[in-house]
Homo-oligomer: A and B are copies of this chain.
Amino acid sequence: MITKKAEYAIIILAELASHPEGTVITSKEIARNRAIPSNLVVQLLAVLKEAGWTTGTRGPAGGIRLLIDPSEINLRQVVEKIDGPIGITRCLFSETPCQNKTHCSLRGIWARAQQNMLSVLEEVSIKDLAEKAAKDW
């Protein structure tokens, strides 16, 4: 399952993308604006920073800003950065097909189902989402 943390991370990036380029916003503001537990925002920002997507400046008047063009990052990338590799079944996490019966017929079906799902997430960028959200909200 795609965790709530991954969903939060996407929302954090979308929030950042919705602010003018170059400006900063504090992690507490992000938490307040998007109703995410403040400590979780901090925790997730550490991972987003590690990915090279955000950066923060400390001290008064400090805050977080995007380092990347939000059209360059898609939802699959964010989910995988937070949750690790995606697998709709345990089977798909193992490198090799199960050797029980030479070859597992199910594996190909799971892989196809999963790829169908992932392609949707790959098609949607943080920018797309931020724009969609701006319209809806």
Q: A residues touching B (Cβ–Cβ < 8 Å)?
A: 1-4, 7, 10-11, 34-35, 75, 87-91, 100-103, 105-106, 109-110, 112-114, 116-121, 124, 129, 132-133, 136-137
Contacts and interface: CB of A to CB of B under 8 A. Distances in A.
B109 A2 contact: no
A59 B116 CA distance: 46
Interface centre among A114, A120, A136, by most B CB within 10 Å? A120
B120 A7 contact: no
Given A1-B90, A105-B129, A116-B119, 5 more contacts: A75-B109, A102-B137, A105-B132, A109-B121, A113-B118
User: Top 7 nearest A-B pairs by Cβ distance?
Assistant: A113-B120, A117-B117, A116-B116, A105-B133, A113-B117, A35-B100, A2-B89
